[in-house]
Amino acid sequence: MASTQTASLQGNAPTKNAELLAWVAKMAQMTQPDSIVWCDGSEEEKKRFTELAVKEGILIPLNQQKRPGCYLHRSNPNDVARVEHLTFICTTNKEDAGPTNNWMEPEAAYTKLTHLFTGAMKGRTMYVVPYVMGPLGSPFAKIGVELTDSVYVALNMRIMTRMGKAALDMLGDSNDFNRGLHSTGDLNPDRRFICHFPQDNTIWSIGSGYGGNVLLGKKCLALRIGSYLGEQEGWLAEHMLILGVTSPKGETTYVAAAFPSACGKTNFAMMIPPKEYAGWKIETVGDDIAWMRTGPDGRLWAINPEAGYFGVAPGTNSKSNPNAMACVAKDTIFTNVAMTADGDVWWEGMDGEVPEELTDWQGRPWKKGSTEKAAHPNSRFTAPASNNPVLSPKANDPMGVPISALIFGGRRSNTVPLVIQAFNWTHGVFLGATMGSETTAAATGKVGVVRRDPMAMLPFCGYHMGDYLQHWLDMQKNIAHPPKIFQVNWFRQDKNGKFIWPGFGDNMRVLEWIVNRVHGRVPTEETLLGWVPRADQGLNLKGLDLSPEAVAEVTSIKEDEWKTELKSQEPFFESLGLKAPEALTLQRKLLISRLGS
**Residue 10 CB partners (closer than 8 Å, separation 6+):** 21, 24, 25, 28, 36
* Entry field: residues in the chain: 597
Instruction: Among 283, 288, 331, 438, indicate the residue that binds ligand GTP (CB under 6 A).
Output: 288
User: Which residue's CB is nearer to ligand GTP, number 72 or number 270?
Assistant: 270
In the complex, what is the shortest distance from the CB of residue 505 to Mn ion, in angstroms, rounded to a whole number? 17
Phi, psi of 188 (to 5 degrees): -80, 120
Q: Which does 568 bind (CB under 5 to 8 A by kind): ligand GTP, Mn ion, none?
A: none
- What value, to the nearest 5°, has the Cα angle with vertex 288 and ends 218 and 583? 100
Instruction: Among 10, 91, 100, 267, indicate the residue that binds ligand GTP (CB under 6 A).
Output: 267
In the complex, what is the shortest distance from the CB of residue 472 to ligand GTP, in angstroms, rounded to a whole number? 20
Residues 309-338 that bind ligand GTP (CB under 6 A): 311-312, 315, 320
In the complex, what is the shortest distance from the CB of residue 233 to Mn ion, in angstroms, rounded to a whole number? 23
User: Which residue's CB is nearer to Mn ion, number 110 or number 468?
Assistant: 468
Half-sphere exposure of 548 (CA within 13 A, CB side): 2
Q: Which does 228 bind (CB under 5 to 8 A by kind): ligand GTP, Mn ion, none?
A: none
Task: Let me know: does 301 contact 403? Beta carbons within 8 Å.
Answer: yes
Question: Which residue is nearest to Mn ion, using beta carbons?
Answer: 266
Task: Tell whether residue 149 is a contact of ligand GTP (CB under 6 A).
Answer: no
Task: Tell whether residue 261 is a contact of ligand GTP (CB under 6 A).
Answer: yes
Distance CA 8, CA 12 (A): 8
Distance CA 21, CA 14 (A): 10
- What value, to the nearest 5°, has the Cα angle with vertex 410 and ends 252 and 534? 60
Task: Tell whether residue 366 is a contact of ligand GTP (CB under 6 A).
Answer: no
Dihedral sign for Cα 368, 373, 374, 380, please: positive
Q: Which does 499 bind (CB under 5 to 8 A by kind): Mn ion, ligand GTP, none?
A: ligand GTP
**What is residue 118's three-state secondary structure?**
coil
Give me the residues that bind Mn ion (CB under 5 A), please: 261, 265-266, 288, 311
User: Which residue's CB is nearer to ligand GTP, number 339 or number 510?
Assistant: 510
Stretch of 58-66, 258-266, 274-282, 520-528 contacting ligand GTP, by CB under 6 A: 258-266
| Active-site residue, from 195, 263, 327, 461 | 263
In the complex, what is the shortest distance from the CB of residue 373 to ligand GTP, in angstroms, rounded to a whole number? 14
In the complex, what is the shortest distance from the CB of residue 259 to ligand GTP, in angstroms, rounded to a whole number? 5
- E strand spans, 149-239: 162-163, 178-183, 193-197, 202-206, 236-238
Bridge partner list, 238: 290
Residues 490-519 that bind ligand GTP (CB under 6 A): 490-491, 499, 503-504, 507
In the complex, what is the shortest distance from the CB of residue 383 to ligand GTP, in angstroms, rounded to a whole number? 12
In the complex, what is the shortest distance from the CB of residue 409 to ligand GTP, in angstroms, rounded to a whole number? 9
**What is residue 116's three-state secondary structure?**
helix
Tell me, by CB under 6 A, how many residues bind ligand GTP. 19
DSSP state of 80: -
Residues 434-453 that bind ligand GTP (CB under 6 A): none
In the complex, what is the shortest distance from the CB of residue 524 to ligand GTP, in angstroms, rounded to a whole number? 23
User: Which residue's CB is nearer to ligand GTP, number 138 or number 267?
Assistant: 267
User: Is 263 a known active-site residue?
Assistant: yes
Q: Which residues of 149-174 are buried (b: 16+ CB within 10 A; e: fewer)?
A: bbbbbbbbbbbbbbbbbbbbebbeee
Q: Which does 267 bind (CB under 5 to 8 A by kind): Mn ion, ligand GTP, none?
A: ligand GTP
User: Which residue's CB is nearer to ligand GTP, number 236 or number 510?
Assistant: 510
Task: Let me know: does 173 contact 16? Beta carbons within 8 Å.
Answer: yes
Q: Which does 490 bind (CB under 5 to 8 A by kind): ligand GTP, Mn ion, none?
A: ligand GTP
Distance CA 273, CA 505 (A): 5
- E strand spans, 138-270: 142-148, 162-163, 178-183, 193-197, 202-206, 236-238, 240-246, 252-258
**Residue 432 CB partners (closer than 8 Å, separation 6+):** 258, 406, 408, 454, 455, 472, 485, 487
Task: Tell whether residue 264 is a contact of ligand GTP (CB under 6 A).
Answer: yes
Task: Tell whether residue 382 is a contact of ligand GTP (CB under 6 A).
Answer: no
Distance CA 462, CA 197 (A): 9
Does an H or E element contain 226, and which?
helix 226-233
User: Which residue's CB is nearer to ligand GTP, number 265 or number 376?
Assistant: 265
Distance CA 582, CA 269 (A): 34
Mask of contacts with ligand GTP, 204-243, x by CB under 6 A? ----------------------------------------
> Which residues participate in catalysis according to the annotation?
263
Q: Give residues in contact with ligand GTP (CB under 6 A).
A: 259, 261-267, 288, 311-312, 315, 320, 490-491, 499, 503-504, 507
